[in-house]
Structure 1
Amino acid sequence: MSGSGSESRDGDDPSLAHGKETPVQTAIWRLRSRGCWTDAAALLLPHTDDPAAALQRAALLIERCLYTEKGWAEAEEALRAAEAVAQDDEERGAAACERGYLAYASTLLGVRDRADEARAALGRAAALIGPSAQGRPLLDFRRGLIAQNLGDSPQAARAAYRRAHAGATAQNDTLLLSSTWRHLAGIALHEGELAEARHGFAESLRIREELGYLVGTAPALASLAATETEPEAGRLRAEARRLFHLLGGVPTWLAAHLSARPAV
């Protein structure tokens, strides 16, 4: 696994809806942003005959796995249900993208090595999701995750993240932008490009704070701290610890980084 600090083990799933102007989607976003994935997924349970709702429910439960390292069987069940109701290439491609992400999470967290499954599923997704389709930037982002964290190929990861960043910009997908900023910054930090890393982590943090994405804010604070000197690094880590404990200790993998010394 490559990368430095918490930026390479990001649990964010920018596929999920946020800020949509319906009561159910607003409630889902508020629950999800506070780490209440099970409650958010429950709101979609009456609608799982609809492919979009079934896929969103699966995505929520997959994100819970990556943040909590629990709930794998429930996520798998929800994903199979979403795969079963997918009707066209775009829906099948989106389900394959989630399949790849679940396999990636399992491999990354040491639950079970499913790297080959992750690559194959994202390959299927790439064949089904067109270059200009709405789901393409997310797919590019996830291919970057696999290249960086499972393939130890930062150059391929950077290229994929840049494609995702351009696509997210074109689609005005601010949550995905927060993740592309973050992962590009992680590569920059690993390569010693401190100013570039600091800028990227700061942009990611700014977006997450503006969106009210609390569960993703502590990792962003910890990553930015790795580019700062004291006392600013300590202040950022203290704020990250506060949010981490407020949200019940998620993401689970962040605890080790909150006690780390600054990189400079």
Structure 2
Amino acid sequence: MRSEDQVPVPAPRPGAAPGAGGPAGDDPLDRAVWRLRSRGCWLDAAALLEPYAARQAPAALRRAALLVERCMFTAAGFAEAEDALRTAEALAGDDGERGAAACERGQLAYASTVLGVRDRADEARSALGRAAALLAPGEAARPLLDYRRGLLAEHLADSPDAARAAYRRAHAGAADQGDALLLSFTWRHLAGLALREGELTEARHGFTESLRIREELGFLIGTAPALAALADAVPDDEAVRLRTEAARLFRLMGGLPTWLAGQLPPAPPEEPDAAG
């Protein structure tokens, strides 16, 4: 089982679920948070939100989302994410904020489970079920919730049909909201299910769309996984090129995401020193 593409959070915009920043919008703080997050600098991005997160529920939720995402990419930092979630839960003042916090708690428990840190599958199911009860069907956070419920169906329940239905709901919701980053994740997982069933044309299209969106948004931390995923659905020569590029980006990002290491070719040997 792969862990890539399991951590999207939506870009902030009027009425949207609290996220960890996105490329859209004119707010300098949002832009700064997005630049750091997109390069895997989650702690620095969270630090920008810290002055607001102690007293404002939206900022607390955004900060928690950043630290939860860090856990999925690094398999570390769970204690910090738990602390941030407790703050967000304490500050939540309505069902929308409580539902968004529950959605992040479900994702944190899911990350712990799929990365082999600690089995928290029951907690993940419970938290996402609570989020579904709190978030109205038209709530901005619903597409993200649908996506994460698809992850549980695919990777914890081994129910591809239920996962596909959830991903499609998330995909439609992300399209309606103009959430391009979430679309890149739903494209990726719908393509993964298509590949699993031998539908190479459909899989190649979905993986290509996911990669295109990430490159257009500048989501650098998520580009190597997208390249590696597409490599699974193309001819061998093209696959070699894609995996080589993914490996280059992986090294550029300091070996993140950690779970991608075994899927990529090793670094080429260093050139000998001509002076030696």
Partner of residue 102, structure 1: 108
Partner of residue 36, structure 1: 41
Partner of residue 151, structure 1: 157
Contact map agreement 2:9 2:65 (CA 8 A) in 1? no
Q: State the TM-score, normalizing by the size of structure 2.
A: 0.90
2:199 counterpart letter in structure 1: E
1:42 counterpart letter in structure 2: A
Over the matched positions of the two proteins, sequence identity in percent amounts to: 68
Partner of residue 187, structure 1: 193
What is the Cα deviation at residue 12 of structure 1?
2.8
* Cα RMSD, aligned residues only: 1.2
Q: State the TM-score, normalizing by the size of structure 1.
A: 0.94
Q: What is the correspondence of 1:43-122 to structure 2 with a 5 Å cutoff?
A: 43-48=48-53, 49-122=55-128
Q: Distance in 2 between matches of 1:198 and 1:14?
A: 24
What is the Cα deviation at residue 238 of structure 1?
0.9
Q: What is the correspondence of 1:170-185 to structure 2 with a 5 Å cutoff?
A: 170-185=176-191
Unaligned runs of 5+ in 1: none
- Which secondary structure state, in structure 2, belongs to the residue aligned with residue 112 of structure 1? coil
- Which secondary structure state, in structure 1, belongs to the residue aligned with residue 236 of structure 2? coil
Runs of 4+ in 1 over 3 A off after TM superposition: none
Contact map agreement 1:12 1:216 (CA 8 A) in 2? no
Unaligned runs of 5+ in 2: 11-18, 267-276
2:211 counterpart letter in structure 1: L
What is the Cα deviation at residue 257 of structure 1?
1.3
What is the Cα deviation at residue 9 of structure 1?
3.7
Partner of residue 7, structure 2: 12
Contact map agreement 2:4 2:225 (CA 8 A) in 1? no
Contact map agreement 1:11 1:251 (CA 8 A) in 2? no
Partner of residue 131, structure 1: 137
- Higher RCO (Cα < 8 Å, 6 or more apart): 1
Partner of residue 254, structure 2: 248
